[in-house]
Structure 1
Amino acid sequence: DKAYDHRRCRQALTRRRIQPRIARRGIESSQRLGRRRWVVERTLAWFAQFRRLAIRYERRADIHLAFSTLAAALIVWRFIERWFC
C-alpha cells in the first residue's frame, strides 16, 4: 500500500531484516504488489475462521500462541487432506 511509503516504515522493516514490498508514491504502480498481498489476506482469512482467534478472548500471550499454533496445524491438515483425497 502506498500509504506506507515513508522512510520510517522502510527503516523499521530493514532493522527487522524484512525486505519491503511497498509501492513508491508517484513512481510504481501497486498492481504488481497485489499478488503478494493476496497471499497474506488469504492466510488471515483462514485464521479468521477460528472465532477464538478472530475475537481475541485470551489475555495471556502464551495461550493465544497455543491456539494460533493449533489453528495453523488444523489449516495445514485440511490442506493436506484435500490435496491427497
Structure 2
Amino acid sequence: MSTEPGYSHGDKGYDYAVIRRGLCERRIKPRIARKGVESSQKLGRHRWVVERSLSWLHHLKRLRIREERRADLHLALLQLGCCVVLQRRLPRRL
C-alpha cells in the first residue's frame, strides 16, 4: 500500500509549470485550476477539508505560531496536536 497521495488539489495560485513538473516527477496527478481558464470553485470541496483540519490545529496555541526553534520538537507537538484533535472528534462511548 502506497503512502503517497494520488492527487494534489490546488487553486490558481499554484498554477506554475515548476509545480506541475515536480508533482509529476513524484507520480502525483496535479489537479490545479489554470489561470484565466478554469474556475477554482470545483476544488473548494477538497480544499475545505484541509483548511478545516488546519484550523483545528490552530486552536492549539503553540502550533498557531511556531515557537519551537527545533524541528524535532515542533514535529512532536504537531503529532500530539493531531492526537488531541482526533480525540476531540471521535464519538464518546462508555
* TM-score between both structures, scaled by the size of structure 2: 0.78
Which of 39, 45, 48 in structure 1 is aligned with 2:49?
Answer: 39
**More helix by percentage:** 1
Whether 1:29 and 2:28 are equivalent positions in the alignment is no
**More strand by percentage:** 2
Following the alignment from structure 2 to structure 1, what is the Cα–Cα distance between the partners of residues 12 and 62? 32
Aligned with 2:13: secondary structure?
A: helix
* TM-score between both structures, scaled by the size of structure 1: 0.85
Following the alignment from structure 1 to structure 2, what is the Cα–Cα distance between the partners of residues 66 and 36? 27
Over the aligned positions, Cα root-mean-square deviation in angstroms equals 1.5
Following the alignment from structure 1 to structure 2, what is the Cα–Cα distance between the partners of residues 12 and 40? 21
Aligned with 1:33: secondary structure?
A: helix
Whether 1:52 and 2:51 are equivalent positions in the alignment is no
Q: Tell me how many residue pairs correspond in the alignment.
A: 83
Q: Which runs of 5+ in 2 are unaligned?
A: 1-10
Identity, % of aligned pairs? Answer: 53
Which of 6, 14, 25 in structure 2 is aligned with 1:15?
Answer: 25
Higher relative contact order (CA 8 A, sep 6+): 2
